[in-house]
Chain A
Amino acid sequence: DAGVIQSPRHEVTEMGQEVTLRCKPISGHNSLFWYRQTMMRGLELLIYFNNNVPIDDSGMPEDRFSAKMPNASFSTLKIQPSEPRDSAVYFCASSFSSNQPQHFGDGTRLSIL
């Protein structure tokens, strides 16, 4: 079975540019999570979707960040405009339900110059 699929694996761009990260959850999973990993703050939850509906976006750092889940098999995390402090590894995870084990994608390593 395919796991959680993220793209791109790596992204390098200049500050001010728009960045879009993509995620395909495991088929049949109704919960989707976006996390960010940095050396300073470790792994942090950015946003949680249940049945394609955003339930908790309290972890989204600021208005430059937005996330969508137009259907059960696709989600995006967008940063506009990007800043160097957004450089991090962004993970998408999905689970069968909110309190079941979460399965992580391979992450997107984002570098903003």
Chain B
Amino acid sequence: GIQVEQSPPDLILQEGANSTLRCNFSDSVNNLQWFHQNPWGQLINLFYIPSGTKQNGRLSATTVATERYSLLYISSSQTTDSGVYFCAVSGAGSYQLTFGKGTKLSVIP
């Protein structure tokens, strides 16, 4: 099946700093989603981005499907951004989302 690798596994930021999270995948995808799992365990949809670039406030994401990677940018980080960020993909013709292991982000005041 499709493989998903996220980096870095852990990240500690000072409040106000910017960061880039990376997701590499092993095959063509028809679905790529970024999620934020907050400290209460909720999985929040951030982006549906199988290709291209999207922005939502301080967050933006870019997927380069031909090179099989996606990036999530967080600008001016806040303590509420803490949690685990997951990249999840499904291959062409598939419905099954395969999740990466996540990047654990800690934003300190």
A interface vs B, CB < 8 Å? 31, 33, 42-43, 45, 48, 50, 55-56, 89, 91, 98-104, 106-107, 109
A56 to B90, CA, bound (A): 15
Chain B binding surface, main DSSP class: strand
A43 to B35, CA, bound (A): 12
B99 touches A42 (CB 8 A): yes
**A55: which B residues are within 8 A, CB to CB?**
95
Which of A98, A99, A104, A109 has a CB less than 8 Å from the CB of B43?
A: A104
Interface residue count on the B side (C-beta < 8 Å): 19
On whether A99 and B30 interact (CB within 8 A), knowing A45-B96, A45-B97, A48-B96, the answer reads yes
B43 touches A91 (CB 8 A): yes
A43-B99, A48-B96, A104-B45 given; name 15 further pairs at CB < 8 Å. A42-B102, A45-B96, A45-B97, A48-B95, A56-B95, A91-B43, A99-B31, A101-B31, A101-B33, A101-B45, A102-B33, A103-B45, A104-B43, A106-B41, A109-B41
Across the two chains, which residue of chain A brings its CB closest to B35? A104
B45 touches A99 (CB 8 A): no
Total A-B residue pairs with C-beta atoms closer than 8 Å? 43
B95 touches A31 (CB 8 A): yes
B95 touches A98 (CB 8 A): yes
**B90: which A residues are within 8 A, CB to CB?**
99
Q: Which residues, 9 to 32 on B, are CB-close (under 8 Å) to A?
A: 30-31
Q: Can you list 30 residue pairs at the A/B interface with Cβ under 8 Å?
A: A31-B95, A33-B97, A42-B99, A42-B101, A43-B86, A43-B88, A43-B99, A45-B96, A45-B97, A48-B96, A55-B95, A56-B96, A89-B41, A91-B43, A98-B95, A99-B31, A99-B94, A100-B48, A101-B31, A101-B33, A101-B45, A101-B48, A103-B45, A104-B35, A104-B42, A106-B41, A106-B42, A107-B42, A107-B43, A109-B41
